[in-house]
Amino acid sequence: MDDLLNALVDKGLRGETPTRDEALAVLRSADDELLDVVAAAGKVRRKWFGRRVKLNYLVNLKSGLCPEDCSYCSQRLGSEAGILKYTWLRPEQAAEAAAAGVRGGAKRVCVVASGRGPTDGDIRRVSRTIEAIKERAEGVEVCACLGLLADGQAERLREAGADAYNHNLNTSEAAYGDICTTHTFEDRVATVKQARAAGLSPCSGLIAGMGESDEDLIDVVFSLRELDADSVPVNFLLPFEGTPLAGEWNLTPQRALRILAMVRFVCPDAEVRLAAGREVHLRSLQPLALHLANSVFLGDYLTSEGQAGKADLDMIADAGFVVEGRETSTLPEHRREEAAGRPERPHERVAVRMRGAGTELPPNA
């Protein structure tokens, strides 16, 4: 194991991908080896992201009422899960919610809508929402998550000021038909590619714990690497009552850490984000996960005063990490340079002119 971990660290520090067998060996390592695995992947995490933790805040623009049948999702067609169902928050309502997240320390706001994909009218509404969020919280990053995109929609979101687009691959291509029949893995890949082509930072991740094999997990993470996602949310299944996966409790905290370590080794310089299910599945081992992931969803963990949950901030500080400020870029320089090669948005053209006039760079530039 020592030789394997040394080889993985060397590759990770160079930004290189391990072999599938090496990644599989991480997933299959013994509990006795867990701290060695975390320590090794932690070196790779610190090389690219130091001890910073990026906080993200999710605003649900539209909830439930989806015609798709993703079996893990409480908002799916026919779901009997007891969730809130509502149609489209108004832009000012969404901006208000986002501002609370930003006050709580979030530097990225993720605007999410249930559904197969947006109509052109939805894109107009979300564009107004993005503009409203950015007016209230200058410098905040906005990521849109609206489902499968039609031609031209990614470009319109980018023009409205969106920084990123999230569309998760969720599981391997081979297992995709087991979790959804109303769209395909390839549909999802196409949307991530469209987002990238339009100049949006691609965010795409997975859900672990749906009954998938080790090989499925390796496959989906290698697919994410191939897509070169800038950020990779790692979700752990919350098996909602009223959905087909209600009985799937397949994860242990140790397994969740091994999955995160494997993702870190395969995507060494990507923003790896602890997403849904972190509290339920990592439980008391959450602080160890900060050695692997460099980004955390605050989700609903905000108090009514808009402060990040004290428990989360204490955990970050106690584990020796710091909350990443808006003045710091999340991604390593080579990734930012690559992003700089993507098409400009109108407001970036303005920013470039301002820089030429000696004005301060906008936050996150």
Q: Which residues bind ligand SF4 (CB under 6 A)?
A: 66, 68, 70, 73, 75-76, 114-116, 147
Beta-carbon-side half-sphere exposure of residue 247 (alpha carbons within 13 Å)? 1
CB of 147 to ligand SF4, least distance (A): 5
CB of 194 to ligand SF4, least distance (A): 16
CB of 129 to ligand SF4, least distance (A): 18
Instruction: Count CB neighbours of 227 within 10 A.
Output: 18
The tokens for 342 are 């993507």
CB of 251 to ligand SF4, least distance (A): 19
The answer to whether residues 204 and 227 touch, using CB atoms and an 8 Å cutoff, is yes
Distance CA 87, CA 97 (A): 16
Distance CA 47, CA 127 (A): 36
Of the pair 39, 81, the CB lying nearest ligand SF4 is at 81
Sign of CA dihedral 229, 309, 285, 291: positive
Distance CA 269, CA 120 (A): 34
DSSP symbols for 293-343 = -SEEE-TT-B-TTSPBPHHHHHHHHHTT-EEPPTTS-SS-HHHHHHHHTSP
Given the structure tokens 């080896």, which residue do they identify?
33
Of the pair 232, 257, the CB lying nearest ligand SF4 is at 232
Of the pair 70, 137, the CB lying nearest ligand SF4 is at 70
CB of 240 to ligand SF4, least distance (A): 11
Of the pair 14, 116, the CB lying nearest ligand SF4 is at 116
DSSP symbols for 104-158 = TT-SEEEEEE-SS---HHHHHHHHHHHHHHHHHSTT-EEEEE-SSPPTTHHHHHH
Of the pair 72, 321, the CB lying nearest ligand SF4 is at 72
Q: Would residue 306 be called left, alpha or beta, if left means φ above 0 and alpha means ψ between -120 and 50 degrees?
A: left
Distance CA 107, CA 322 (A): 13
Of the pair 66, 218, the CB lying nearest ligand SF4 is at 66
CB of 109 to ligand SF4, least distance (A): 19
Strand 322-323 and strand 52-62: pairing? parallel
Q: Which DSSP category does 360 fall into?
A: P
Of the pair 73, 143, the CB lying nearest ligand SF4 is at 73
Q: Which DSSP category does 50 fall into?
A: T
Of the pair 12, 115, the CB lying nearest ligand SF4 is at 115
Of the pair 42, 64, the CB lying nearest ligand SF4 is at 64
CB of 317 to ligand SF4, least distance (A): 34
Q: 63 forms bridges with which residues in the sheet?
A: 86
CB of 306 to ligand SF4, least distance (A): 27
Distance CA 259, CA 293 (A): 11
Of the pair 73, 217, the CB lying nearest ligand SF4 is at 73
The answer to whether residues 89 and 254 touch, using CB atoms and an 8 Å cutoff, is no
To 5 degrees, how large is the angle CA 25–CA 29–CA 31?
A: 170
CB of 153 to ligand SF4, least distance (A): 15
Instruction: Count CB neighbours of 201 within 10 A.
Output: 25
CB of 190 to ligand SF4, least distance (A): 15
